[in-house]
A and B are shown apart, each in its own frame.
Chain A
Amino acid sequence: MTRHTITSIREGLLAKQFSAVEIAREALEFAERENPKTNAYLMLCSERALAAASEVDRKLAAGEETGALAGVPIAVKDVILTKGVRTTCASKMLEHYIPPYDATAIERIEAAGGVIVGKTNCDEFAMGSSNENSYFGPVRNPVAPDRVPGGSSGGSAAVVAQGTAVVSLGSDTGGSIRQPASFCGVVGVTPTYGRVSRYGLVAFASSLDHIGPFARNVKDSATLLETMAGRDPMDSTSAAAPVGSYTDRLDGDVRGMKVGLPIEYMKHASGETAARIHEAVAKLRTMGCEVQDISLPSTDYAIATYYIICTAEASSNLARYDGVRYTFRAADSGSLGAMYRNTRGEGFGAEVKRRIMLGTYVLSHGYYDAYYLKAQKVRALIARDFTNAFQKVDAIVAPVSPFPAFRIGEKVNDPVSMYLSDIYTITGSLAGIPCMSVPCGSTAPSADAPALPVGLQILCNYFEERKMFRLAHAFENS
């Protein structure tokens, strides 16, 4: 399974080297065997996978068109709804929740022949940077089992790194795709805000939430994204702009491309991570890119801005979990008020409670202007920084995380330090521009730690995914 790409599966199916059902069985058996090492899957959905694979085989036999993802085993983060297949958000609150409909992204993937093999572990309600906030236990990094895979989409990054899925879906609110991709050594993409419909993505922070792909190479990530992207009437914030093809002329020339390196990011970067980024920049220069320093002056305010906006939106979005509609109700629910309070007190984990509290506080009477409104204004300044920068450059490169994968337990009791680790990814999330992580080598192994993957972040202007993929593809192949 680890050898497969979307392309190799397509070629194998057409050459009759294997059937889609055989590939699905192989993926499911491999996942069953390997999962105890990482805890990356919360659930395998064999029945659904084999039914989808059989349909691909039937179409192939009948000579019908099979779609761009025909027979490809795909894992899905457990915050994305799958009709009839349990979707928990890694929370006790939704431990037994069975969605009555599919997310639009899932519908489009299956319409293109994709085979959903299972649901992946993550931080509870996608809140976290280490995957340690799951009700079902942490995920271990396949590269170094005593370390975190990153978060919140840690399971989706781990299954692709481990090879128990060919590609996967994650969700990104402040770095939850790019950071785990960098920690696990795979490609992870956060598209332009609104490029992929959020219908069926359990809401965390609606103005920041994205669905995006993980893959073992840039081309597969581009194929998966273009399958899901595009306007959806079920999500009024989904963008109407045409998608085009992300894979067509992916290997186009990048010579002369202007690439910016933000001075504010590099001043924080140190050690091995900074060294890999500087090497990546040198490589971009040898590829013919013109790299120049740029300034994103509002960067220092991004973390405070992000944690005000995302918690405010989360406190509102998570108000719906009150013991009435969504499976869990506390046993001690004598009155309506007690039912609400006890259900939420028992059903949510520590980090989710912390964010609901913060969000409620910053929205409360007397603090709204000082926190929430102020943060929305600073968000506009952060977005403006990028708009100004993209008048000078085609793309921006940066680290994804200040450090590589850390040990399980290392930061769990220090939320401020955990939040600070999102510094490089949240700026792009706040602006809503497309950004991705592409592997750029590893740290040198030491007595303390094995070689740990490092990711290079590439950011482009709104709807310029195609340019971003082209640069990432050239970098990956140079």
Chain B
Amino acid sequence: MKLTEKDVRYVAALANLNLADDEIAQMLHDLDGILGQMDALAGIDTEGVAPMAQVLFDAEENSTLRADVERAPLSNDLAVQNAPISGEGYFKVPRVIER
């Protein structure tokens, strides 16, 4: 075992993920097995290799720019239409500032 239950709870907190106790136990088992596979990378010689963060192609420096033409934005109504709770054009969330 490489991971501990404490590690799993710590990572779940980082991810804002509420996990039940049985999920924590299962996660510990699964993550430990998968991370064991991933440790195989440690032995590979990558000295001097530049990390590949994205698939990139040769292109003009400004090729990702578009013409500066005005376009209609998403309307306020559409932007909040999928919110579980909205009002006055805003997303509503539980109170975060105590008065």
Contact = CB atoms under 8 A, between A and B. Distances in A.
B31 interface: yes
A43 interface: no
B93 to A, nearest CB: 6
B6 to A, nearest CB: 13
B91 A324 contact: yes
A135 to B, nearest CB: 16
A315 B41 contact: no
Contacts, number: 164
Contacts of A356: 15, 17
A241 B57 contact: yes
A237 B19 CA distance: 35
B15 A335 contact: no
Interface stretch (A172-180, A218-226, A375-383): A375-383
Contact of A236 (B31, B33, B46, B64): B64
B82 A354 contact: no
Given A301-B44, A325-B83, A345-B19, A358 B34 contact: yes
A225 B50 CA distance: 32
Interface residues of B, number: 53
Interface stretch (A121-129, A302-310, A391-399): A302-310
A327 B91 CA distance: 11
Nearest to B45: A381
Interface in B1-58: 7-8, 11-12, 14-20, 23, 26-27, 30-31, 33-35, 37-42, 44, 46, 49-55, 57
Contact of A304 (B40, B81, B93, B96): B40
Interface string A315-341: 100010011111111000111111111
B87 interface: no
A385 to B, nearest CB: 12
Interface in A383-431: 383, 415-416, 419, 431
A335 to B, nearest CB: 6
A15 interface: no
Interface string B55-99: 101011001101000000010001111111100000101101000
Given A97-B82, A308-B38, A416-B37, A377 B52 contact: yes
Nearest to B57: A239
Given A353-B23, A419-B34, A301 B51 contact: no
Contacts of A327: 82-84
A239 to B, nearest CB: 6
Contact of B63 (A207, A240, A323, A337): A240
B82 A98 contact: yes
Interface stretch (A136-144, A267-275, A366-374): A366-374
Nearest to B3: A361
A145 interface: no
A364 interface: yes
Given A326-B82, A334-B94, A356-B15, A377 B51 contact: yes
A353 B17 contact: yes
A233 interface: yes
Contacts of B82: 96-98, 100, 325-327
A44 interface: no
B15 A380 contact: no
Nearest to A97: B82
Contacts of B59: 239-241
A432 B81 contact: no
A307 B91 CA distance: 34
Contacts of B15: 315, 344, 356-357, 360
A59 B58 CA distance: 40
Contacts of A337: 16
A380 B83 contact: no
Contacts of A383: 52, 55
Interface of A: 96-98, 100-101, 193-194, 207, 233, 236-237, 239-241, 298, 300-301, 303-305, 307-308, 315, 319, 322-329, 333-342, 344-346, 348, 350, 353-354, 356-358, 360-362, 364, 370-371, 373-381, 383, 415-416, 419, 431-432, 462
20 contacts: A100-B74, A240-B63, A308-B38, A319-B16, A324-B84, A325-B83, A327-B82, A328-B84, A329-B85, A345-B18, A350-B26, A354-B31, A356-B15, A357-B15, A357-B27, A361-B7, A364-B14, A374-B44, A415-B34, A419-B37
Interface of B: 7-8, 11-12, 14-20, 23, 26-27, 30-31, 33-35, 37-42, 44, 46, 49-55, 57, 59-60, 63-64, 66, 74, 78-85, 91, 93-94, 96
